[in-house]
Amino acid sequence: MPARAIYQGLTTHINELSTLLQSGPPERCRRRLAATTGEAATLASWIAWDLKQPAQSASFERVAALAAEESGHRVIQACTYAYRSYATTGPEAVEHIRHAQQFLPAEGDDATRAWLLAREAEELAALGDGQAVELLQRAEEAHTRARPHRERAWTRFLDAGRIAAFQLSTYVRLGDEQHVTEAGQAALAALGQDEDQKRVSVVYTDIAQAQLQIGDVTEGVTYARRALEAAHRTESTWGMQHLTKVEKALAARPDHAARELLGDIRATRRALGPSPA
């Protein structure tokens, strides 16, 4: 769903949780309410960013930090900083991810651990750091131990298809054509039943980038257009931001189809508004 479709309901939910916390509930309930408030505030921060409201996003981050401290669930902060890493690139994104890892317990929360390792692999790969491959392997190992649907509210997305998407993204950024082909096939197979169009958009963008890198312009344009359609349908800032990688490749192409798609991407970005500062 587009972020705007659930934002009001989510903020109402957080206000109601805050009211319950202020009513003086028993300690055993208070900690659970605080944890739920922290998780909801983290999601609200991400959605506010997606809606291009950076001030509101920062405000919800502060709520999440307070709730994480009061509930004793400091791992909530790991999710906050992981989300923040998507709003940046390069060394700054790596810094947010490594900060997030500091909130992980020594044992457990393997789904969150796998997510953060895979995110770090993506960002290091973009910087040309070969350590990305080792981190990706560690992410896969953590995922085999994890129970994403049971550990945390924010880890339910981390299925085998999402791990394949992380593999694809990492190898695309490293320029490893052999592994890109394998990871791309796995990611496509996982998308067969996927109804999460925001995720579909990101995966199609990575496949498009890979095809353009190996010189298959027709396939690259096909997948990039699918990515654009999914991002437009869900009004996804994240999806449109991810498409900037393809824009650079399309800008260097003289092909009519590539130039036409480039114009459509830019028109869609103008229609949805600028990215949040």
3-class secondary structure for 180-213?
HHHHHHHHHHHHCCCCCHHHHHHHHHHHHHHHHH
Taking each helix axis from N to C end, the angle separating 76-86 and 27-50, rounded to the nearest 10 degrees, works out to 0
pLDDT at 277 over 60: no
72 conformational bin, left if phi > 0, alpha if psi -120 to 50, beta if neither: left
Q: Give the C-alpha separation, 37 to 132, whole Å.
A: 34
- By residue count, the chain amounts to 277
**269: which residues sit within 8 A by CB, 6+ positions away?**
240
pLDDT at 275 over 70: no
Question: Per the structure block, which two tokens stand in for 53?
Answer: 């409201």
250 CA to centre of own chain: 24
Burial zone of 9 (CB within 10 Å; 0-12 exposed, 13-18 middle, 19+ buried): exposed
Question: Per the structure block, which two tokens stand in for 222?
Answer: 């096909």
Dihedral angle, C-alpha 174, 176, 177, 182, nearest 10 °: -100
The residue-averaged pLDDT of 60-79 equals 95
The residue-averaged pLDDT of 256-272 equals 90
From residue 163, give the alpha-carbon distance in Å to each of 47, 160, 182, 188, 193: 23, 5, 13, 12, 15
Other C-beta atoms lying within 10 Å of the C-beta of residue 37 = 25
Quote the pTM value: 0.85
DSSP helix/strand/coil, 90: helix
Q: What is the DSSP letter of 147?
A: -
Buried b (16+ CB within 10 A) or exposed e, 58-92: eebbebbbebbebbebebbbbbbbbbbbbbeeeee
pLDDT at 188 over 80: yes
| Band (37; pLDDT cuts 50, 70, 90) | very high
pLDDT at 20 over 90: yes
Burial zone of 258 (CB within 10 Å; 0-12 exposed, 13-18 middle, 19+ buried): buried
Q: Picking from 59-63, 81-85, 141-145, 186-190, which range would have the lowest pLDDT averaged per residue?
A: 186-190
